[in-house]
Structure 1
Amino acid sequence: MASDVRTGSDPGPGGRDIRHLPKAHLHLHFTGSMRPATLLELADKHGVHLPEALTSGEPPKLRATDERGWFRFQRLYDAARSCLRTPEDIHRLVREAAQEDAADGSGWLEIQVDPTSYAPRLGGLIPTMEIILDAVRTASRDTGVGMAVVVAANRMKHPLDARTLARLAVRYADQGVVGFGLSNDERRGLARDFDRAFAIARDGGLLAAPHGGELAGPASVRDCLDDLGAQRIGHGVRAAEDPRLVRRLAESGVTCEVCPASNVALGVYDKPQDVPLRLLYDAGVPMALGADDPLLFGSRLAAQYELARDVHGFTDQELAELARQSVRASRAPDEVRERMLGGIDAWAR
């Protein structure tokens, strides 16, 4: 996917440099944020044999719209995750994710993680959360990028596991956890099976931000709204297939965390121009562009804005509005939001 868009280093003819546009990054997965070179170094350090698709130097060829394709995507992700084994590895990943975001103009990053995936090697759920949050605080201090955590349950696991994670997330709500999500294959199971976990999270003051409307259609988005009380939707692009749902999202102000490059890489859409960015924007649906899993999809945050500009014809003023929408949908502190919104206005002028 990296070859389909500019990296953000070239402002293009008559366009402002996207890297200088302040923006919030609200859809970035933990392991998926890793630099490819870091993955190779950690694999060598821990003696992990990686699939060739992760060592070729190019983003793997993926298509997850069928069960076999999703299994391959998940297998690659799990292989990369197995290279994160020590607190030092966690700190390195978070620090480098913040550095990449800083280079792309992000002033606020909400990184999404399922701590159960790392807990066996880090001493359990509570030690894992504390290591992650310490890494987030350190990286934020060192890079200047504000950071927070969205704890995500895995919809392939039992709903009781999700409730455990929701309680854990609430426990750290005043220490850097701002939201609760639900990830993995949305075609499996029912959103309502996780309604109690999301009620625990919302009652604890956390944002509800489940995945929906990517691999499954508009009904998946409706289920997130109706059954989980979603305040943001991870992806949500398939809502474009239902005009009534598009109006509902616009009227309710629920933000869709749209990740254009990953939508194409996973085969949700055949070409970048098929991603319904323009339709959703013109209908008034708030959006926050995200990179999803740069390790596997090959492009980071600024490249998503470049795609909006180059493929979908977004003007610089419209790109500035997309950035504003990302900031408004974030859980950044008021002073951070005000500073970023002021910076967006200055960029647009």
Structure 2
Amino acid sequence: MEMPRPLDALPKAHLHLHFTGSMRHSTLLELAAEHGVHLPDALVQDWPPKLRATDERGWFRFQRLYDIARSVLRREQDVYRLLREAAADEAAEGSRWLEIQVDPSGYAQRFGGLTATLELVLDAAGRAARESGTGIGVIVAANRTRHPLDAKTLARLATQYVDRGVVGFGLSNDERRGRARDFDGAFRIAKRAGLLAVPHGGELSGAASVAECVDDLAADRVGHGIRAAESGRLLDRLADRQITCEVCPTSNVGLGVATGAAELPVRRLFDAGVPIALGADDPLLFGARLLPQYELAREVYGFTDAEVAELARQSVRASAAPEAYRKELLAAIDGWLVTGDAARLPA
């Protein structure tokens, strides 16, 4: 019987990771101690926290824990550390391209405004990429619980940094509290500048939320998108247009979208021809980074090594990585299937 190939040697792209949520748990504890931030038990001895965000109270608790975690990032050096460690963790798991999502509004007061915050993140991302060997693009994300005019401000800001590492424009937070169509103006601004449109949809709301992202925001990818499986017609549309769903199994279970990973229709999306980019979402709150998502694909969803390799290819194809680098990564994935290691991985 052939031994399964090592998944950490499989070159892949990680397209769904939030900025604060990428922090190592150990770093959260250290920074909280340095800055005198009291952490609740759910972020200390009871970590990872037991979450269920399918009701309003549960989402409020999730958001509260996230905001507390964000509050430990108080100095520029904390931002550099977060991105340096995140890039190192990505490289260790075989992730050779990362797109990390940040809403500068959440840090602007601390770091001198929206522009200064974004420039800090971009500089830290560039430095982390050089040190780790994993390429990094930044996605500027608007908060759908805020006014659409705020989103337009962020979209205009993002367009000014297309040549400095911003690769996409997103829309995050509870989709039940803000319709995608209300943010179409911001996404038109971003799309005109050549940025990828990557809104969240189909996580806590159903297939209609995904369809709205596609129809009203011209989404290139949909963050999560797992509930597109509730509509066969929508699956056909996503497959025909090759719109990638950034599927985050551990996150979906953690937030109560499913009671267990086996319930998630990952195989149904894949078999329908919908491109999938596996993601970790917020490892700080869900306790698992990217590699465990690929382990679930193999162990729970029954993906063969050839199919796992195709998942990795789909993540690379859907990314904003430079075309030449994408070709190198795709060749390296083929090499993994032949040799079981990353011998052909670009330096």
| TM exceeding 0.5 | yes
Shift of 1:50: 1.1
Q: Map 1:134-283 to 2 at 5 A.
A: 134-283=123-272
- Is the 1:231–1:255 contact (alpha carbons within 8 Å) kept by the matching residues of 2? yes
* Equivalent residue number for residue 121 of structure 1: 110
Q: CA separation in 2, counterparts of 1:191 and 1:130?
A: 27
* Per-residue Cα deviation, 1:129-152 (whole angstroms, up to 9, x for no partner): 111000000000000000010000
* Equivalent residue number for residue 299 of structure 1: 288
SS in 2 for 1:303: helix
Q: CA separation in 1, counterparts of 2:166 and 2:217?
A: 18
Shift of 1:13: 7.9
Q: CA separation in 1, counterparts of 2:23 and 2:125?
A: 14
SS in 2 for 1:25: strand
Q: Which amino acid aligns with 2:48?
A: P
Percent of pairs with identical residues? 67
What TM-score do the two structures reach when normalised by structure 2?
Answer: 0.96
* Equivalent residue number for residue 90 of structure 1: 79
Q: CA separation in 2, counterparts of 1:57 and 1:170?
A: 41
Q: CA separation in 2, counterparts of 1:128 and 1:13?
A: 50
Q: Map 1:63-82 to 2 at 5 A.
A: 63-82=52-71
* Equivalent residue number for residue 8 of structure 2: 19
- Is the 1:64–1:266 contact (alpha carbons within 8 Å) kept by the matching residues of 2? yes
Deviates more, 1:32-41 or 1:48-57: 48-57
- Is the 1:214–1:237 contact (alpha carbons within 8 Å) kept by the matching residues of 2? yes
Q: Map 1:321-336 to 2 at 5 A.
A: 321-336=310-325
1:61 aligns with 2:22: no
* Per-residue Cα deviation, 1:144-203 (whole angstroms, up to 9, x for no partner): 000010000000101000000000000111100000000000011221110000000001
Q: CA separation in 2, counterparts of 1:147 and 1:317?
A: 26
- Is the 1:210–1:230 contact (alpha carbons within 8 Å) kept by the matching residues of 2? yes
Q: CA separation in 1, counterparts of 2:252 and 2:37?
A: 29
Shift of 1:81: 0.3
Q: CA separation in 2, counterparts of 1:302 and 1:63?
A: 23
* Equivalent residue number for residue 32 of structure 2: 43
1:285 aligns with 2:274: yes
What number of residue pairs does the alignment pair up? 338
* Equivalent residue number for residue 343 of structure 2: none
Gaps of at least 5 residues in structure 1 are 1-11
Q: CA separation in 2, counterparts of 1:80 and 1:225?
A: 32
**Among candidates 105, 108, 111, match of residue 100 of structure 2:** 111
Gaps of at least 5 residues in structure 2 are 339-347
* Per-residue Cα deviation, 1:94-118 (whole angstroms, up to 9, x for no partner): 0111001000000000000001101
SS in 2 for 1:209: strand
Shift of 1:30: 0.2
Q: CA separation in 1, counterparts of 2:4 and 2:57?
A: 41
Shift of 1:303: 0.6
Q: CA separation in 1, counterparts of 2:100 and 2:330?
A: 21
Shift of 1:312: 0.7
Shift of 1:46: 1.0
Q: CA separation in 2, counterparts of 1:117 and 1:190?
A: 21
SS in 2 for 1:318: helix
Q: CA separation in 2, counterparts of 1:190 and 1:156?
A: 9
* Per-residue Cα deviation, 1:66-105 (whole angstroms, up to 9, x for no partner): 0000000000000000111111000000011100100000
- Is the 1:119–1:125 contact (alpha carbons within 8 Å) kept by the matching residues of 2? yes
* Equivalent residue number for residue 52 of structure 1: 41
CA-atom RMSD, angstroms?
A: 1.0
SS in 1 for 2:162: coil
Shift of 1:58: 2.6
Q: CA separation in 2, counterparts of 1:211 and 1:123?
A: 28
Change in CA separation of 1:13 and 1:216 when aligned onto 2, cut-off 3 Å: farther
- Is the 2:200–2:224 contact (alpha carbons within 8 Å) kept by the matching residues of 1? yes
Shift of 1:57: 5.7
- Is the 1:36–1:57 contact (alpha carbons within 8 Å) kept by the matching residues of 2? no
Stretches (4+) displaced over 3 A: none
